[in-house]
Structures are given as C-alpha cells and as structure tokens.
C-alpha cells in the first residue's frame, strides 16, 4: 500500500510523520509501526524526541521515502510506503502543471493525507487562498479516481488555535461535496497537534491503513468466493452416470479430472483464506479504536 501526502511547505508534514512514528513505534491498542530500514527508524525517533520538547524539525528539501510495517500484536502484517518529499507539496507553479502532478501523485496512491494548517484557516490570511487553491485542485483530481482510497484531511497545529468551526472550514466545502458524492473515497477530517502535548496524532494514519486493509480483505473475500464457486461447479460435473463415465474417460486419457479440478479450486480458496485470516482481528480492532462500523 502506498500513502501519499499533499500539502504546502511548512504545514507540518515532516513533524507529523516523525511524531506519529514516535508514538506508534511504542504502540497503541496492539498496533505498532516499524520502519524497515534502521536509518529511517533512527532518524524518525530522533526527530520525534525533539518534537516532544517542542523542538521542531528544520525544513528539508530532501526526498524521503519510508517503508513501514504496521504490526499487530508484535507481528509485521501490513507493509506500506510513505513518501515525504517536496513533490508532495503544492507548488507555486501554474495550475495546469500542478493539476497534472497532483493527478500523478493520486494515481499512485492507495491512501492520501491532505494537510492543512489550522492557524491559516482561522486567521483567514493569504494562506487561506493557498488552501482554496489546493482543495480546488484536489476536488478536480479526485473526480478521476476510480478505485477505492482512504483520505484523511489532517488539520495541523491545532494547539495554536482555540477552535475550528464551520466558517473556518469553508475552503473545504467543494472538496467535502466531491468526497460525499464519490463512491470510491472513504474520508475523515481530524485536527492534530504535535509537541509536548500531542493530540490525535496516530488517528489519520490508522484510518488510512484501516481503509487499505479493509479493501484488501474485501478483495480476498471475493477471490475466495470465486474459487469456491468453481470448486462447486467442477464437483457437480462428477455427479450421475455421465459424470462417472467422464471421470473414467479422463483417467484413461490422463486428463485432469473434474474431481481434481474441484480439489485444486478448494485448495486455492483455502490458501486465500489463510491470507485473509490475519487481517480479521486487526480490522476489528481498528474499527473499535476509530469508533467506526457502528
Ligand atoms: N505549534 C505547532 N507547530 C508545528 C506543529 N507541526 C509543525 N509545526 C511548525 O511548523 C513548522 C514546519 O513543519 P514541517 O513539519 O517542517 O512542515 P513540512 O514542510 O510540511 O514538512 C515546524 O518547524 C514547526 O515550527 C504543531 O503540531 N504545533
Ligand atoms: Mg517537510
């Protein structure tokens, strides 16, 4: 699974990622994160420790692509990548060029985190226009999405504002409507704060992962059903006198018999079930943690 982040520079993407790793590496509700490469782990933990003391990371242009495992009960079970790079930022280029780049980013994504600075929303300054531009571009790009994705709108630096009301969120109106009418997008919007008193930090990622895992489980479920139907169909071909004669004929000819084909399909269904089974408990635990599915 691939997670893509969208948002202006300085909105708090790197801070969020490091903070989230610091918290989720320790674990929450049976879930934990593991960076596959030890250098990434060390870098993120170092950043997270500083953020805990309100020492925020220096801006960097460096492209970083991280590979993680979501773990459940200490076992690696769901791999994903997350790109933290300038390419994910909304650039001050022409709209047409920006639209093309955004489209490309989204096409490669199974999960999207859209970042927006709470202070910019509340202060209604020039950055609000930047946010409007970003949401307009997103709204357009999402029209072309034709497979399921999870999308979290992350409202950063919530510690710097007293409250966020509907009026502040006005730049999101169009995007919210586009998400509502799309049958492919599961979304949530959540304020977060990173620092000595973190708020909601693990939620956006766990939501997007939940959607990704759910989609995979659903897909496996469909495959299992198809294999089971084929097994049943082949098995029916062995019934009756006709089936008996056919089987003798196939054996004599050295053909694969319907009975064998039925068995093969059942084995495929079982193999797929073995892939599905480890996803069930985590999906249920995530639903509970995120208070979904009621
Ligand atoms: N108060 C506060 N400041 C934050 C928070 N997150 C980020 N910042 C500030 O925003 C700056 C830019 O954050 P950064 O993560 O580098 O943004 P990026 O360019 O989107 O990766 C940081 O240096 C911090 O000063 C937060 O949760 N609370
Ligand atoms: Mg950054």
Residues 171 and 273 reside in one and the same domain = no
Q: Which residues pair with 71 in a beta bridge?
A: 32, 76
Q: Which atom of ligand 1 is nearest to the CA of 59?
A: 16
Residues 161 and 29 reside in one and the same domain = yes
C-alpha 49 – ligand 1 centre gap (Å)? 14
Q: Note the pLDDT tens digit of each residue in 37-77.
A: 999 999 999 999 999 999 999 876 566 789 999 999 999 99
Ligand nearest to the CA of 158: 1
Domain boundary among 138, 172, 201: 201
Q: Note the pLDDT tens digit of each residue in 238-257.
A: 999 999 999 999 999 999 99
Residues 240 and 171 reside in one and the same domain = no
Q: Which pair of tokens denotes residue 277?
A: 């089974």
Q: Which domain holds residue 251?
A: 217-289
Domain boundary among 166, 201, 236: 201
C-alpha 30 – ligand 1 centre gap (Å)? 28
**Confidence class of residue 133 from pLDDT cuts 50, 70 and 90?**
confident
- Residue 209 belongs to some domain of the structure: no
Judged against a pLDDT cut of 80, whether residue 86 lies above it is answered with no
- Residue 207 belongs to some domain of the structure: no
Question: Average pLDDT, stretch 92-115?
Answer: 82
Neighbour-count burial for 31-52, b at 16+ CB within 10 Å, e otherwise: bbbbbeeeebbebbeebbebbb
**Confidence class of residue 156 from pLDDT cuts 50, 70 and 90?**
very high
Contact 116, 154 (CB under 8 A): yes
Residues 222 and 93 reside in one and the same domain = no
Residue owning the nearest CA to atom 24 of ligand 1: 56
C-alpha 33 – ligand 1 centre gap (Å)? 22
111: buried, middle or exposed (CB in 10 Å: 19+, 13-18, 0-12)? buried
**How many domains is the chain built from?**
2
Residues 180 and 231 reside in one and the same domain = no
Domain boundary among 167, 201, 235: 201
Ligand nearest to the CA of 61: 2
Residues 60 and 133 reside in one and the same domain = yes
- Residue 208 belongs to some domain of the structure: no
Residues 141 and 285 reside in one and the same domain = no
Residue owning the nearest CA to atom 7 of ligand 1: 12
What DSSP element (H or E) covers 63? Answer: none
Residues 184 and 94 reside in one and the same domain = yes
- Residue 104 belongs to some domain of the structure: yes
- Which has the closest alpha carbon to 238: 265, 219, 268? 265
- Which has the closest alpha carbon to 147: 215, 204, 222? 215
Q: Note the pLDDT tens digit of each residue in 250-291.
A: 999 999 999 999 999 999 999 999 999 999 999 999 999 998
Domain holding 154: CATH number?
3.40.50.300
Residues 187 and 256 reside in one and the same domain = no
CA separation, residue 207 to residues 77, 80, 91, 106, 154 (Å): 16, 14, 27, 17, 11
Residues 229 and 196 reside in one and the same domain = no
Q: Which atom of ligand 1 is nearest to the CA of 193?
A: 27
C-alpha 73 – ligand 1 centre gap (Å)? 31
Average predicted confidence (pLDDT) for the chain: 91
Residues 28 and 119 reside in one and the same domain = yes
pLDDT of residue 90: 65
CA 162 – CA 156 distance, rounded (Å): 13
Residues 23 and 122 reside in one and the same domain = yes
Q: Which residues pair with 5 in a beta bridge?
A: 113
Residue owning the nearest CA to atom 1 of ligand 1: 157
pTM of the entire predicted model: 0.91
């Amino acid at each position: 699974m691939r997670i893509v982040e969208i948002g202006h520079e300085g909105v708090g993407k790197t801070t969020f990622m490091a903070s989230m790793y610091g918290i989720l590496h320790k674990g929450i509700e049976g879930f934990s994160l593991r960076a596959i490469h030890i250098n990434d782990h060390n870098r993120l933990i170092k950043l997270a420790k500083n953020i805990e003391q309100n020492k925020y990371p220096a801006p960097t242009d460096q492209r970083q692509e991280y590979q993680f495992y979501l773990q459940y009960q200490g076992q690696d079970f769901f791999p994903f990548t997350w790109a933290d790079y300038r390419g994910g930022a909304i650039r001050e280029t022409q709209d047409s060029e920006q639209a093309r780049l955004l489209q490309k980013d989204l096409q490669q994504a199974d999960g999207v985190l859209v970042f927006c600075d709470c202070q910019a929303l509340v202060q209604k300054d020039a950055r609000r226009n930047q946010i409007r531009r970003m949401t307009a571009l997103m709204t357009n790009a999402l029209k072309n999405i034709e497979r399921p994705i999870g999308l979290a709108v992350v409202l950063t630096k919530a510690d710097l504002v007293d409250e966020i009301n509907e009026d502040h969120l006005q730049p999101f109106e169009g995007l919210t409507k586009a998400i509502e009418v799309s049958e492919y997008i599961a979304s949530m919007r959540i304020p977060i704060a990173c620092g000595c008193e973190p708020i909601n930090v693990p939620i956006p990622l766990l939501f997007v992962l939940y959607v990704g895992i759910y989609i995979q489980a659903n897909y496996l479920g469909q495959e299992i059903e198809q294999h089971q139907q084929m097994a049943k169909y082949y098995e029916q071909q062995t019934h009756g006198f006709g089936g008996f004669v056919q089987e003798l004929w196939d054996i004599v000819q050295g053909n694969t018999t319907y009975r064998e084909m039925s068995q093969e399909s059942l084995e495929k269904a079982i193999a797929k079930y073995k892939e599905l089974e480890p996803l069930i408990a985590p999906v249920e635990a995530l639903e509970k943690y995120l208070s979904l599915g009621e």
